[in-house]
């Protein structure tokens, strides 16, 4: 389709948009089309009006995504300001899917609700965090989730209770064609610890153990059953390993960083080299936690 053949929307619809500067890794190609809906009605209308054959790719802050240099075909959908609101009532937070996880942690702290401190350690948005059941420092999204709202690629809205999403380690059964739009989380009032102190401890622990202030997108590989991915990578001698502009972090070897001039392909090749070395050394197969999208050049 051509740009002028799409339905008229209230939001922003653009063609051939670079995604690299929007990603945490600073690499990647272009979106064939990028749609930023003005609100929920705009998103529903758009999805109902476009041909069902067009591929839809929802993206958040892209904190856990590697976009290949060939870019993404079809329509990339990124949620804007209308999806960045937070409300609280009776210890339940209603959170837009485009809200950063760290903001939810701060909001919860300001309202003296516990249980959400760990979100300070997750760099992405709530929508993506729910989709993959993100977690850190001993907790994960499903532990606080009550319900979430999503919209399917045909424009139909669907709700998922906590028990409906089939959450497991870094995984849910929420359909790939579902865009999370809102979520409801249950906070814990009157906790017997200092929420600000716990949040500060998480911030300090993250600073001391992870590469901060560099181009990276969090843990590269999932932890295999019974193992820590970083320990396997260390054991295989991969700490600091390089491929062109990509490097395994010296500080935390389950992070791959863009040292300044890496391509998406450099990062993916380095990751595959690390996985092979780990398998050759330990017999354990690493699975990517980073989501790889798009076409190679």
CATH number at residue 59: 3.30.43.10
pLDDT for 1: 86
- In the residue annotation, 168 being an active-site residue is answered as no
| Domain co-membership, 74 together with 114 | no
pLDDT digits (tens, 9 = 90+) for 199-254: 999 999 999 999 999 999 989 999 999 999 999 999 999 999 999 999 999 999 99
pLDDT digits (tens, 9 = 90+) for 240-283: 999 999 999 999 999 999 999 999 999 999 999 999 999 999 99
Domain around 14 = 3-81
| Domain co-membership, 273 together with 259 | yes
| Domain co-membership, 218 together with 168 | no
| Domain co-membership, 88 together with 186 | yes
Set 61, 63, 102, 219: catalytic member: 219
In angstroms, the CA 261 to CA 87 distance is 41
| Domain co-membership, 61 together with 111 | no
Percentage of residues in the chain having pLDDT higher than 70:
100
pLDDT for 234: 98
- In the residue annotation, 234 being an active-site residue is answered as no
pLDDT for 253: 96
| Residue 31 forms part of a structural domain | yes
pLDDT for 250: 96
| Residue 206 forms part of a structural domain | no
List, in order, residues 6 or more apart from 95 with CB less than 8 Å away: 85, 86, 104, 126, 182, 183, 184, 185
Mean pLDDT within 184-197: 97
Set 20, 170, 201, 234: catalytic member: 170
**142 three-class SS:** helix
Where do the DSSP E strands lie in the chain?
12-18, 30-36, 56-59, 65-67, 72-78, 86-89, 92-96, 113-114, 135-136, 139-140, 145-152, 157-161, 178-186, 188-189, 215-216, 242-243, 246-248, 256-258, 291-293
| Domain co-membership, 187 together with 218 | no
pLDDT for 108: 98
| Residue 14 forms part of a structural domain | yes
| Residue 190 forms part of a structural domain | yes
| Domain co-membership, 63 together with 92 | no
**279 exposure class (CB count in 10 Å sphere: 0-12, 13-18, 19+):** middle
Mean pLDDT within 84-89: 98
- In the residue annotation, 219 being an active-site residue is answered as yes
pLDDT for 187: 97
Residue 297 has pLDDT above 90, yes or no: no
């Amino acid at each position: 389709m051509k740009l002028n053949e799409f339905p008229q929307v209230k939001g922003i619809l653009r063609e051939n948009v670079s995604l690299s500067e929007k990603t945490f890794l600073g690499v990647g190609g272009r979106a064939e089309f990028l749609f930023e809906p003005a609100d929920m009605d705009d998103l529903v209308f758009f999805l109902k009006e476009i041909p069902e054959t067009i591929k839809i790719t929802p993206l958040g802050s892209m904190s856990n995504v590697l976009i290949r240099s060939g870019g993404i075909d079809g329509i990339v959908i990124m949620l804007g300001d209308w999806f960045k609101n937070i409300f609280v009532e009776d210890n339940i937070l209603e959170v837009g899917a485009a809200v950063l996880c760290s903001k939810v942690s701060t909001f919860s702290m300001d309202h003296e609700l516990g249980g959400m401190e760990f979100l300070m350690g997750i760099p992405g948005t709530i929508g993506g965090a729910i989709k993959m059941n993100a977690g850190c420092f001993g907790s994960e999204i499903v532990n606080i989730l009550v319900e979430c709202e999503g919209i399917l690629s045909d424009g139909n809205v669907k709700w998922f209770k906590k028990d409906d999403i089939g959450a497991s380690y870094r995984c849910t059964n929420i359909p790939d064609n579902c865009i999370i739009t809102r979520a409801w989380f249950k906070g814990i009032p009157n906790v017997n610890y200092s929420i600000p102190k716990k949040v500060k401890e998480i911030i300090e622990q993250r600073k001391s153990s992870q590469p901060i202030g560099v181009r990276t997108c969090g843990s590269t590989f999932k932890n295999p059953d019974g193992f820590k991915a970083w320990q396997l990578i260390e054991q295989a001698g991969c700490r600091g390993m390089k491929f062109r502009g990509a490097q395994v972090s010296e500080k935390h070897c389950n992070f791959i960083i863009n040292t300044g001039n890496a391509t998406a392909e450099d990062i993916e090749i380095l990751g595959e080299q690390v996985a092979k070395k780990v398998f050759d050394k330990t017999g354990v197969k690493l699975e990517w936690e980073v989501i790889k999208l798009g076409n190679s050049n």
